[in-house]
Amino acid sequence: MHVEKNHILIFVGNRGNKKKIAFIKDLHDTGRLKTDQEIMSEAGKLINAFCSERNFKIYYTRVWNSDGKTIFDVGSHTEFFHLIPAVNFTHHEQEDTTDGKST
């Protein structure tokens, strides 16, 4: 029996203020466990939507794990997204979570 856990996506502002963006369930509606890549993809879509709503253009995304969380740097230099708990993305190509639109 698998105990369901959720990942939480948090926006960390330039003064260290934190805002919960979303909870990401680790199970599909069918009960199948999501892969870390699926969770990363879902987090990327949520980050894109959050930035788009604020008219922030993502030109690049850097991702790394530190202290039990996956950290997304989307180019602001002072604001980040944290996915907790961390996911293992090292066996996958680092996913580009930008929307692919040019300005």
Q: How far, rounded to the nearest angstrom, does the alpha carbon of residue 51 sit from its chain's CA centroid?
A: 12
Question: pTM of the predicted model, to two decimals?
Answer: 0.81
Q: How many CA atoms lie within 13 A of 25 on its CB side?
A: 10
What confidence score (pLDDT) does residue 103 get? Answer: 38
What confidence score (pLDDT) does residue 80 get? Answer: 97
Every domain of the chain and the residues it spans? 6-84
pLDDT in tens, the chain (103 residues): 455 689 999 999 999 999 999 999 999 999 999 999 999 999 999 999 999 999 999 999 999 999 999 999 999 889 999 999 999 977 544 444 444 444 3
What confidence score (pLDDT) does residue 28 get? Answer: 93
Q: Name the strands in the sheet holding 69-73, side by side, starting at the edge strand that comes first in the sequence.
A: 18-25, 6-12, 80-84, 69-73, 62-66
3-state secondary structure of 12: strand
